[in-house]
Amino acid sequence: MAFIDYYSILGVTKKATEGDIKKAYRKLARKYHPDLNPNDKEAEQKFKEINEANEVLSNPENRKKYDDHGEHWQHAEAYEKAKQQQKQNAQQQTYQGDFGGYSESDFSDFFSATFGGSKAKGGRREAKFRGQDFNAKLELNLEDVYRSHKQTLTVNAKNIRITIPAGVENGQIIKIKGHGGKGVNGGPNGDLYIEFSIRNTTQFRRDGSNLYASVDLDIYKALLGGEITVDTIDGKVKLTVKPETQNGTKVKLTGKGFPKYKKEGQFGDLYVTYSIKMPVNLSAKEKELFTELSKLR
């Protein structure tokens, strides 16, 4: 648990007036508010720090405590205990303000240790707000999202069984309603956002629902044509190669691509590019025959 310099977070000096703090907080809150910085984790973290700094410095009681004990916050608790024992009938300090939709986990350990709880006296609007949205990342292989399947995730010590739809994209985010943080003042729960990170270790290049692959072809099959077996993501298929096929020729295998997201039964296409391999280490006989062939053209 490290000491947090709330003054430097807000960019004000220790001599800053209440007005200076309010002004600095508003300016920074407008810059880093999560509503204004969608999907920006850094801004979200910065906003939490700013909020915490403001909760302490904008409240004269908290600010005094921070100024008195801040640098030596480890001793603050013991100091407070001793003080409370001396004043047996003194009112117990409670910190129960509303905090604009942010949960306990949004406060640093330093804040909790120094101010004895998750929430400082705030005097904010006591409206009912949705709970905080949670974000999670789920790593899967490309093959895992070829078919829709159910998976159990553990988020904040709770097990959630979700359906992972076939065809989900790398970086795609899905929302699981109501599985975020608890609502504030009886407001609804936040949502859980799951970002998919899809690893592709297959031979296929994916672009949406289309797949691309390169298939090696020997010179004889390319010249004379014939049948080859090609791997698709769902198994092997037989393909007829036309005679005199050129290097780089593309063949479309309709419906052999990846499933289309949320379109059951619909698939993209597989594009196969032929890469013709020239024979190497020719034998004397082969050389002779190729020479003969070359003379025919």
Partner 1 sequence: MNTTNLISIQHFCTHYKVPITFITALQEYELVEITVTDNEHYLRTNQIYDLEKMIRLHYELHINLEGIDAIYNLLKQVESLQSQVKTLKNKLNSYEDL
Binding interface with partner 1 (CB under 8 A)? 26, 29-30, 33, 35-36, 38-39, 100-101, 125-130, 169-172, 200, 205-207, 212
CA angle 258, 259, 261 (to 5 degrees): 125
CB of 170 to partner 1, least distance (A): 5
Cβ closer to partner 1: 95 or 212? 212
User: Between residues 30 and 150, which has the closer beta carbon with respect to partner 1?
Assistant: 30
Supply the minimum distance, in Å, between the C-beta of residue 158 and partner 1: 22
Tokens of 156: 């904040």
Cβ distance to partner 1 smaller for residue 6 or 129: 129
Q: Which is nearer to partner 1, 116 or 187 (CB)?
A: 187
Question: In the bound complex, what is the minimum distance in angstroms from residue 38's beta carbon to partner 1?
Answer: 6
CB of 206 to partner 1, least distance (A): 6
Length of the chain: 297
Shortest separation between residue 198's beta carbon and partner 1, angstroms: 9
Identify which of residues 172 and 249 has a Cβ nearer to partner 1 in the complex: 172
**What is the closest distance, in whole angstroms, from the C-beta atom of residue 100 to partner 1 in the complex?**
6
Q: Between the CA of residue 207 and those of 63, 85, 195, 245, 272, what are the distances in Å?
A: 55, 69, 18, 26, 14
Q: Are 297 and 237 in contact (CB under 8 A)?
A: no
90 Rama class: left (phi>0) / alpha (psi -120 to 50) / beta: beta
Phi-psi category of 249—alpha, beta or left, where left has phi over 0 and alpha has psi -120 to 50?
beta
Taking the complex as a whole, how short is the minimal distance between the CB of residue 171 and partner 1, in angstroms?
Answer: 4
Kindly state the smallest distance separating residue 212's Cβ from partner 1, in Å.
8
CA-to-CA distance for 244 and 264, rounded, in angstroms?
A: 39
- Asked whether the beta carbons of 259 and 166 are under 8 A apart, the reply is yes
Minimum CB distance to partner 1 smaller for 53 or for 76? 53
CA distances from 214 to 5, 159, 218 (A): 58, 42, 13
**C-alpha closest to that of 106 among 53, 28, 176, 38:** 53
Could you give the CA distance from residue 158 to residue 134 in angstroms, rounded to a whole number? 13
Select 43 or 276, whichever has its Cβ closest to partner 1. Answer: 43
Residue closer to partner 1 (CB basis): 79 or 212: 212
DSSP sequence for 111-136: HHHHHSSS----------BPPPPEEE
